[in-house]
Structure 1
Amino acid sequence: MIKLLQGLLALLLLAAPLARAQETALPPPPPLDPAAVRSVMRHAVEDVIRPGYADLARDAEAMKDRMERLCAAPSPEGLAAARDGFVTLTDAWARIEIVRIGPALEDSRFERILFYPDRKGLGLRQIQALLRDEDPAATQLSSLADKSVAVQGLGALDYLLYGDGSDSTATEAGAYRCRFAQAVAANVARVSTALSDGWNAPDGIGSAMIGFGPESPLFRTPDEAATALLGILVHGAEAVRDQRIESFYRGPDRQSFPRQALFWRSERTFPMIAGNLEGLRALFDGSQIATLLPSDPLGTADSIDFLLSNMARTARGMEPQAEAVLADPAQRQRLDYLLLSGKDLIQRLDGELGGAIGLSAGFSFQDGD
């Protein structure tokens, strides 16, 4: 608790220069330097985004292999290995899922990997129905891909490996459940590879971000390319607050829903939040987007980096069970800190950083890709 209070104090100290600076109008920023923007785009794509998707594709393929071995020879050891693979895979997804543009928006790829939030429990009901009926179509990659996206991805794997009856996958009695999970893992591997390939394609979005110009069908100016990158950061910060936390906890005076938290069964709720924040920090630092600031009198870059670091550290320090967190006043205070800091993070990215590099003050990242 002392460290948390220290973090809040540091946050207030970081906000003090902003309050003073707001008393004096800042001059409009100069036009963005195309060479500087191109360098930032190259760092973002080549140093962060493409490697992130490559990691996801690698870990998804490894998960598929683990499921194949488990189903071929069911055992407690094989199930433990599959669960370890799920942890590794979801860690990789948490770091890169913040990039919600380009290939992720095509063919419902994002939803095929993770259908969430699912407040009406649509996915769970469909998964349970498939298990009850032992529908053979759910055990084959080709036919599973034609079913609802709610049963195709990591949410399905979370239930199949950790939900009611999941221990049966270590025995012959759980053969259908295992084959279902095997097909899901194969589908996640297929989609992950498509995402990685899309970002590496010579005519894909990665090349377009780096090679922006008048002839580009996607990004004609430095401003458009910089806006796309900033939009990833802002959307990512919004998703952490609005989807990862507020999906089950909206504040001390609101009803909580621990079983609506992402991956509560596998106790991966808070590692996923931390991974999202670490992914945002990797993109913010790795892209060197702060170098586009003509000056930084508000300490914007340091404030953003501090927030991302401290929020990720707080999430990593949470108890693993969402229900236990919500039952513990001290843990709930940490959630309140994440909500408060999340709001501040969005403002600093959207308002301060965006404004300082010349984006329209009224631009809404919710309106674009």
Structure 2
Amino acid sequence: MIVGFAVFAFAVQALGADLPTEDEIRSAEAPPASVAPSEPFSHAAMVKAAITSYIIPHIDALKAAVAPLPEAVANVCKTGTPAAEKDLEERFQKVVTAYVGVDFLRFGPMLENGRREQISFWPDPRGFVARQLRLLLLNKDEAIAQPGAIGKQSAAVQGLPALEALMHDKAVPLGPGDAAHYRCVVAGAIAANVVRLISEVADGWEKPDGWADKLLHPGPANDTYKNESEAAVEVVKALIVGLSLTADLQVKPQFDTKIRLTPPYEKSGLQNVFYTESVASLHELYDILDLESWLPPDRLWMKDWVMGTWRALEASDGAGGRSANAKRDDAPAPREVFDRTNGLRNMVANRLAVAAKLTIGFNELDGD
């Protein structure tokens, strides 16, 4: 399936590369650490914090953001007014922004049945979204409006990128009239399908005996996590995968001309939003996991490098410009952002996770 290429071909790399040296970390621009080490999270507490403070709130926020999307599509198709178009754009942006916070949770309900790719088929270096959408529109089969029908089509036409393409087709824009009729039928089916998929993800996490319960109650009877350490590895691994995806799929194409990859949600002008929300979400999860609390006193200086790295990532818009929320005066170049993101990924995998007595193996990063 294209899924394996799209998700992990760029993300999974040897964890030893780009690891900052002690001299590099000690020379970071952050002030010296002077705070005594805190009591470290237990593995069980780490998992509970990740679920209750990050995963469930972000999934609930995505579910709430996507609920009005079908109605917004219907309003544009019924009226075609600038106000309706603006409302759809705003609601679409809210959905994408909320989705970024769960995009890197590529296990459990997101992984099951290929839901992640169905919701957001990106990266798409071979143009499957445009190709499959064109074929779907040529068929003009009105049965696509039936519940579940779009879900039987290619993952490339089931989710947000396909809806975005329909929203920004200037040749035949969504609206009333015969020319746009079938496009509106497809757009409405896609919007409803995304609501369904995200509801399934939320249910998969929150139902009794769902994925949250799996992580919170490891043991011999658990078919996925046999102990608290395995559950903790899963959530830390999600953070590492998220850093890999940000570096390899969003930042590296900005300076490596050999990589031909369209930025995420570029038609909607959301590529910078996608980057800044990715960094903000990863930073939030990093803080919640509190891996630094496991550092021994002679390793507290690692906090300085990490602090400086987050500050650099948050100063960038992901494409060489300066973020509006930057806490430093300059805009780091994409190459610096890439190197720092890789360094942070490897810091988490090879130093902080090790300090926390967690083993993050190469094969564990390959979520297929």
- TM-score, normalised to structure 1's length? 0.80
C-alpha distance after superposition, 1:301-340 (max 9, x if no partner): 45335423431331278669xxxxxxxxx98x62222211
Q: 8 Å contact 1:37–1:292 — kept in the other structure?
A: no
Aligned to 2:101: 95
Which residue matches 1:261?
Answer: 263
Instruction: Please say if residues 139 and 176 of structure 1, whose CA atoms lie closer than 8 Å, have aligned partners that are also in contact.
Output: no
The match for 2:90 among 61, 84, 94 is 84
Question: 1:1-369 counterparts in 2 under 5 A?
Answer: 15-17=24-26, 36-165=42-171, 168-172=173-177, 173-246=179-252, 248-251=253-256, 254-255=257-258, 257=260, 260-295=262-297, 297-315=299-317, 334-360=333-359, 363-368=362-367
User: Does the 8 Å CA contact 1:273/1:312 hold for their aligned counterparts?
Assistant: no
Q: 1:197 to 1:262 in 2, by over 3 A?
A: same
Amino acid aligned to 2:364: F
CA distance in 1, matches of 2:212, 2:170: 42
Q: Compared with structure 1, are the counterparts of its residues 110 and 249 closer, same or farther at alpha carbon in structure 2 (3 Å cutoff)?
A: same
Contiguous gaps of at least 5 residues in structure 2: 1-19, 29-38, 323-329
| Counterpart-to-counterpart distance in 2, 1:296 and 1:283 | 25
Which structure shows the higher helix fraction?
1
Is the partner of 2:67 in helix, strand or coil? helix
Whether the 8 Å CA contact 2:125–2:260 is kept in 1: the answer is: no
Q: Is the 8 A contact 1:60 1:189 kept in 2?
A: yes
Considering only aligned residues, what root-mean-square deviation do their CA atoms show, in Å?
3.0
Residue matched to 2:13: none
Percent sequence identity is 24
Structure 2 letter corresponding to 1:268? L
C-alpha distance in structure 1 between counterparts of 2:126 and 2:342, whole Å: 26
1:98–1:279 contact (8 Å) kept in structure 2: no
Q: What is the rounded CA distance, in whole Å, between the counterparts of 2:141 and 2:285 in structure 1? A: 42
Aligned counterpart, 1:327: none
Task: Provide the secondary structure at the position in 1 that maps to 2:229.
Answer: helix
AA partner of residue 213 (structure 1)? G
Do the aligned partners of residues 232 and 361 (structure 1) sit closer, same or farther apart at CA in structure 2, a change above 3 Å counting? closer
Q: Retained in 2: the 8 A contact 1:43–1:287? A: yes
> How far apart are 1:290 and its partner, in Å?
3.3
Q: Tell me, yes or no, if the aligned pair for 2:26 and 2:305 is still in contact at 8 Å.
A: no
Aligned length: 331
Per-residue deviation, 1:298: 4.5
Q: Following the alignment from structure 1 to structure 2, what is the Cα–Cα distance between the partners of residues 147 and 238?
A: 29
Find the residue that maps to 2:148 and give its secondary structure: helix
**What is the alpha-carbon distance in structure 1 between the residues aligned to residue 239 and residue 199 of structure 2?**
23
**Could you tell me whether the CA contact under 8 Å between 1:274 and 1:313 is conserved in 2?**
no
Distance in 2, matches of 1:185 and 1:292, equals 44
> Residues of 2 paired with 1:41 and 1:364: CA distance?
21
Matching residue's letter, 1:287: L
Letter in 2 for 1:308: W
Q: How far off its partner does 1:170 sit?
A: 3.4
* CA–CA distance in structure 2, aligned partners of residues 208 and 290 of structure 1: 25
- Secondary structure in structure 2 of the residue aligned to 1:345: helix
Displacement of 1:135: 3.3
Higher RCO (C-alpha 8 Å, min separation 6)? 2
Give, as a single letter, the amino acid of the residue that structure 2 aligns with 1:15: E
The alignment partner of 2:316 has SS state of helix
What one-letter code is carried by the residue in structure 2 that aligns with 1:16? I
- Say if 1:48 and 1:287, in contact at 8 Å, map to a contact too: no
Determine the C-alpha separation between the residues in 2 that align with 1:216 and 1:195.
20
Q: For residues 208 and 63 of structure 1, what CA distance do their matches in structure 2 show?
A: 31
**Paired residue type of 1:177:** R
- CA displacement at 1:176 relative to structure 2: 2.1
Distance 1:365 1:299, change over 3 A: farther
DSSP 3-state at the match of 2:87? helix
Give the TM-score, by structure 2 length: 0.80
Deviation at 1:206, TM superposition (A): 1.0
Distance apart, 1:256 and its partner CA: 5.8
